[in-house]
Structure 1
Amino acid sequence: MSRTGPPMADTTGNAGSYWDPLWRIDVRLTVVERALLRSWPVRRLAFVAHAGASAVASTQSTSRLEHSLGVLALTARFAPDDEVARVAALLHDVGHLPLSHTLEELAGWDHHELGAQRTRLLAPLLAEHGIDVQDVLDVGSGTRASVLSGAPGALGVDHLDGLVRSASAHGRTRAAPPATLARLEVVDGCVSCDVATADDLVAMVADEARLHCSELNLVTTTVVRRLVTLLLEDAPAGTGADVAAMTDDELWALLLASPSTAEGARALRRDPGAWRVVDVDDPASTHGGVVSTLRRLYLDVPLVDGTIPRQPHPAHADLPAVPWTYAVVPRRAAGS
């Protein structure tokens, strides 16, 4: 039996190339990309779950590093000679907190701001290879046009990789990712395709939004945010900066060791199905309930014939309006 890639998808860069197992793209790594893969800001992403807290209760085990390498692979396919865009693709998620979006905005955290700070720390390494860190930041922010910067509402390379990678982990892809990729092009940073392929992608966008609205995701996210809030309330000043730089395993170790969070952290890891979501007006929400708000959904869609299909798309019709405020309660309090 012949194979189309190496026996292992090596993320160290030492082999000089990276074979992306999702898209089946063989990326010949540049010298600076190999150096970045050995830097801690990038390497740390191997220990941060792309799915955030819901990774403890689902089959999605993809790391932020896998996703970042996937975005690099797509950038190398669509803009192989744009060295700055390739670097920006590899670095675009270095600002993520432990458990990714789970802790976003808690304690004033913003992964875009943290990402810019961490990217600037890599300025000497980038300069060694003739790359200005500001150019990388400009690509990341969209100030400089590239394959990574698109129009509002249009699906971009970053969200394309995250969308299809998540769909693959949950068995939701309509076609094999390489077959889908063969039907795509990128126009001014926007993914563009034919009607049939767009329908497949839009269906995956809707499914991904339903994942974010699911009880499993809302429960795990809300409980972890509550635990980290308790942790920071009892911790010495400056602990927030330490937490923001942690990996997932380091955060879990801290939560499991801290008196104010140990019991809750153990309970969530052992039985994440012990909670449920109820309406904030439900009487059960007053019995140990934690109120939270889902503030946004990612509903970007691909271009068809150079234009964004009408919004909201019919496939998104059954999604809840956001912001959506809800309560997470122990199942015994919800009567089940």
Structure 2
Amino acid sequence: MHILVVAHTLLQLYIADMNILGVWKLAAVYFPNHHVLRAAAILHDIGHLSFSHAVEKTLGYDHRALTEEYIQSPEVVSILHTANLEPSDIIHYLRLPSPLTGTQNILGLDHLDSFLRDTYMTGNIETMPRELIKRIHCSEQGIETDEPTGLQLLRLIVQVHYY
């Protein structure tokens, strides 16, 4: 049983790392000079624990609050300051609707990464993510693409959320 728990924990860490790297990569592709967004992309999920979304409500836990706490830690503050970034700017950015987090009506880079990665890893994707990314444009107003690519993204969203 102990090996299974360790293996699952390592898998959760791997998945979390892949999400952080994927979101950061998308931020770098679409917003190469938006340093606050790119730092927020790296830091947006550092408060997640294993099964975080699945158990947050039950345990009364909020990964966003822990993320903000970690961003204000001396180690992270020091790193951000070497890049001329303020922790308060990153936290403020993460609290707002943005290309990273999305809005009520607009898909954010965080979820785009999840849909692309999850459908790819389960073998349920028609087009390789790198090809889809070339057909998607992202701005502060959201994600834009042609109709066939948009419909393909909607199929990915349905696959990830309903299967």
Whether these two folds match at TM > 0.5 is yes
Deviations 1:280-317 (A, max 9, x none): xxxxxxxxxxxxxxxxxxxxxxxxxxxxxxxxxxxxxx
Where structure 2 has 5 or more consecutive residues not aligned to the other structure, the ranges are: 1-8
Query: Which whole-Å CA distance do the structure 2 matches of 1:110 and 1:48 have between them?
Result: 22
Q: CA 1:126 to 1:100, structure 2 compared with 1: closer, same or farther past 3 Å?
A: same
1:147 CA drift (Å): 3.6
Partner residue in 1 for 2:149: 197
| Structure 1 equivalent of residue 91 of structure 2 | 137
CA–CA distance in 2 between the matches of 1:89 and 1:183?
Answer: 21
Q: Which residue of 2 aligns with 1:127?
A: 81
Deviation for aligned residue 1:48 = 6.1
User: How far does the alpha carbon of each residue in 1:92-131 deviate from its partner, in whole angstroms, 9 at most, with x for none?
Assistant: 0001122332222232101111111111112233123321
In 1, Cα distance between equivalents of 2:83 and 2:99: 21
How far the C-alpha of 1:136 sits from its partner, in A, is 0.8
CA contact (8 A) 1:139 1:149 kept: no
- SS in structure 1 of the partner of residue 80 of structure 2: helix
The runs of 5 or more residues in structure 1 that have no matched partner are: 1-45, 51-61, 212-336
- Which of 79, 103, 117 is the aligned partner of 2:69? 117
Residues paired across the two proteins, number: 153
Q: Which residue of 2 aligns with 1:210?
A: 162
Larger radius of gyration: 1
Q: Percent identity among equivalent residues? A: 27
Structure 1 residues 139 and 189: CA distance shift in structure 2, 3 A: farther
Runs of 4 or more above 4 Å deviation: none
Instruction: Provide the C-alpha distance between the structure 1 equivalents of 2:141 and 2:43, rounded to a whole number of angstroms.
Output: 17
Say which structure is richer in helix.
2
| Whole-angstrom distance in 2 between the partners of 1:166 and 1:103 | 20
Q: Aligned partners of 1:74, 1:119: CA distance in 2, in Å?
A: 21
Structure-2-length-normalised TM-score:
0.85
Whole-angstrom CA distance in 1 between matches of 2:26 and 2:160: 20
Q: Letter of the aligned partner of 1:123 in structure 2?
A: V
1:212-257 Cα deviation digits (max 9, x unpaired): xxxxxxxxxxxxxxxxxxxxxxxxxxxxxxxxxxxxxxxxxxxxxx
Name the counterpart of 1:155.
107
In the aligned structure 1, how far is the partner of 2:143 from the partner of 2:104? 12
Partner of 2:51: 99
Q: CA RMSD in A?
A: 2.0
- In the alignment, what sits opposite 1:87? 39
Task: Kindly indicate which of the two structures has a greater share of residues assigned to strand.
Answer: 1
CA distance in 2 between partners of 1:111 and 1:187 (Å): 27
Q: 1:103 to 1:206 in 2, by over 3 A?
A: same
- Residue 12 of structure 2 aligns to which amino acid in structure 1? A
